[in-house]
Structure 1
Amino acid sequence: MNDNYLGLDAGGTSTRAVVVSSDGHCGGIGKAGSGNPTSAGIDAATTAIRDAVTQAVTSANAGRLAGAALAVAGAGGAGHRAAIVAALSDLVAVEPVFDFDVLAAYFSGTAAPDGYVLLSGTGASAVRVEDGRLAGISDGLGWLLGDVGSGFWLGREVVRAGLAPLDGRGAATLLTGLLLDRLGITRDERPQGGRTGTLVAATAALYAMPPLRLADFASLVFTAAGAGDEVAAGILDQAAAGLRETLAAVRTPDVEGPLVAAGSVLARQPEFAARVAPGAVVATDGLAGAAVLALRHAGVLVDDAVYRRVTSSLAQLTEV
């Protein structure tokens, strides 16, 4: 056993692991598929987590780790947590600590113990952090019930707006052509049961996908809006308003710490991030926060110097 610890950030798209020493030096990373049991299933998610951790430990040549903090989206069930603990028992000396993925997102942008994070990735939420702990959360209710302004929400609106003109329900929009191109569907105006062949093929392709795959189309709204499309611009207006409302719900005068903007949507669209969260630190890598959580749970004081070592050493690893 040594003073190396494991940080894990497992989401609906990918699972990433990092081995970090007590002084904040990241020595190895690993990556695998979805670690979210909701989107991937318990067996596949657990396998992905095991694969990512094994890669990180091997690349760091770390041996058995002294502890672990796991930020796993959707790991609320005892069954999945038990499966993860069993899968990592030979790699980690003590039972891992499970923490919130939104905290990993927060600590990817700052070492401050108090502040806020606005997250828009596949899902969307806002969180108030106090003394390094989750003190308040808004939205994050999942694709079916909430996540306003998330990648899924945007992708669903792109699909709805793109399909609507095909049966006369909506205004013409660049989103239609972009959507069909992404699906690999050529226009076919021949009728099939009262609909055009285009609409029949598009709906069939979309319904064949798992629902969360609609997030794959989120980027199209930024492409269309950038080209002056009014329908796409309207979707972004709604998303921005929803995210601002979500953030306002967790703000309190008692907490004046930094604001972090995180998640794939905000990290990849800096202009949109600045619009919904002015002055925010944009965190582009949730793995840094997972490393910070691992150190904090091990009792390590993560001051600015340690935090800089975490982020700089991790940047070097990801450049390789």
Structure 2
Amino acid sequence: MGAVVGALFVGVDGGGTSTRCVVAAESGEILGRGRAGGANAVSVRDPSANLLAALLAALGSLDRSRVAGGVFGLAGAAQARALAERAWSEAELPGRPRVVPDMLVAFTGTTDAADGTVLVAGTGAVGARVRSRRIVRRADGFGWLFGDEGSGVWLGRRAVAAALTALDGRGAPTALIGPVAAALLGEAGDPQDVPALVAAAYDRIAEAGPAWLGSLAPAVDAAARRGDQVARDIVREAARRLGRTARVVGEPDGTGEERGPLVLAGSLLTEPTELARLVRAELGPRTTSLPAGDGAAGAAALALRAALPPGDPRAGEGHRALIGRTFADRPERRADDGRG
């Protein structure tokens, strides 16, 4: 269908820790923004409520009857579509939204290129190959229990395990005991009380969901920077696993098409972390990468493209306006440049 003058387009990027929403005009001008808690159906207790909160905050006083389309970029279980449609309905928006994988909106929020690769490491972790702005191949993203290797939750699980094994004598001494104990028991708790630590860890996951483990990732990264060998080993292993995920989805597929950009998404790869540095080194000096932009804007760009006829120049113009620049304009980073 064709977009109408004055139409609005909604983009939602729902991750494990936070949900971001934008409402944009056909020109790509962003008219509203909203933010709420995480929306991963696997690791968050009430993702639909967070989706609705982000939607309502972004819509504000805008005329909801003008909404001509919406795209949700979501991770998690198969019920993600139902969660998005429920939030959309409760926000009293017309029609139904499209639901796509969150790594796709990370890609389209960074570049207007149609093809490329994306590696995400935040609360969860996943890699994907993008062709014609669709995911055609993916690796990992299996959730905190079976995968998400190198993610914040993966790092947090290993931090707790390392602290516990150090305390009971099975593991090497580590500076991770302090931050893990503080996170679980508070500053007044006894960091040597293993049963209390174990009980607190299970209670915290039951109350807040496994995404809580991701809150320990900064402590692991900081300890690795300070030279703690246990933390360094954890972060190095995370980098190796993420590098493997990126290589699997980035391998030539026999189509003869150009690979396009590699987008690095998720806070662990876009912030100046030790893990980000090691991942770029793992990928090798021939790999160039782009730090991810605004996934919610990328989702809105997909909504705009879906509303316009194929080949309509307004689609590309609006997409570029939403994300601020083209792939060619963005500063490329080589994998071994050492920056986060």
| Structure 2 residue 47 is matched with structure 1 residue 38 | no
State the shift of 1:249 in Å: 1.0
1:283 paired residue number: 292
Contact 2:84 2:97 in 1 (8 A): no
Instruction: Give, in whole Å, the separation in 1 of the partners of 2:248 and 2:216.
Output: 28
What SS does the corresponding residue of 2:135 show, helix, strand or coil? strand
Aligned-residue CA RMSD in angstroms? 2.3
Q: 1:292 to 1:125 in 2, by over 3 A?
A: same
State the shift of 1:280 in Å: 1.1
Equivalent residues, number: 301
Q: 1:291 to 1:172 in 2, by over 3 A?
A: same
Instruction: Give, in whole Å, the separation in 2 of the partners of 1:202 and 1:302.
Output: 56
Instruction: Give, in whole Å, the separation in 1 of the partners of 2:128 and 2:295.
Output: 15
Detail structure 1 runs of 4+ shifted over 6 Å in the superposition: none
Structure 2 matches for 1:182-197, cutoff 5 A?
Answer: 182-183=183-184, 184-186=186-188, 188=190
User: 1:237-285: per-residue Cα shift (whole Å, max 9, x none)?
Assistant: 1001100111111123344200000012112235532432452111153
1:229 paired residue number: 228
Contact 2:236 2:278 in 1 (8 A): no
Q: 1:82 to 1:304 in 2, by over 3 A?
A: closer
Percent of aligned pairs with the same residue?
Answer: 39
Instruction: Give, in whole Å, the separation in 1 of the partners of 2:223 and 2:99.
Output: 40
1:248 paired residue number: 247
What SS does the corresponding residue of 2:13 show, helix, strand or coil? strand
State the shift of 1:74 in Å: 2.3
Instruction: Give, in whole Å, the separation in 1 of the partners of 2:57 and 2:125.
Output: 29
What SS does the corresponding residue of 2:96 show, helix, strand or coil? coil
2:216 paired residue number: 217
* Deviating more after overlay: 270-279 vs 163-172: 270-279
| Structure 2 residue 266 is matched with structure 1 residue 263 | yes
Instruction: Give, in whole Å, the separation in 1 of the partners of 2:274 and 2:173.
Output: 26
Length-normalised TM-score, structure 1: 0.86
2:275 paired residue number: 272
Contact 2:9 2:304 in 1 (8 A): yes
State the shift of 1:3 in Å: 1.5
Contact 1:139 1:148 in 2 (8 A): yes
User: 1:168-208: per-residue Cα shift (whole Å, max 9, x none)?
Assistant: 1111111112222333155648xxxxxx5x21221121111
Of 3, 7, 11 in structure 2, the residue corresponding to residue 3 of structure 1 is 7
**Structure 1: which 5+ runs fail to align?**
190-195, 314-320
Structure 2 matches for 1:14-29, cutoff 5 A?
Answer: 14-29=18-33
Structure 2 matches for 1:1-320, cutoff 5 A?
Answer: 2-41=6-45, 44-58=46-60, 61-64=62-65, 65-74=67-76, 76-77=78-79, 79-88=82-91, 90-91=92-93, 93-183=94-184, 184-186=186-188, 188=190, 198-210=193-205, 211-253=210-252, 254=256, 255-270=258-273, 272-277=275-280, 278-299=287-308, 301=313, 305-312=317-324
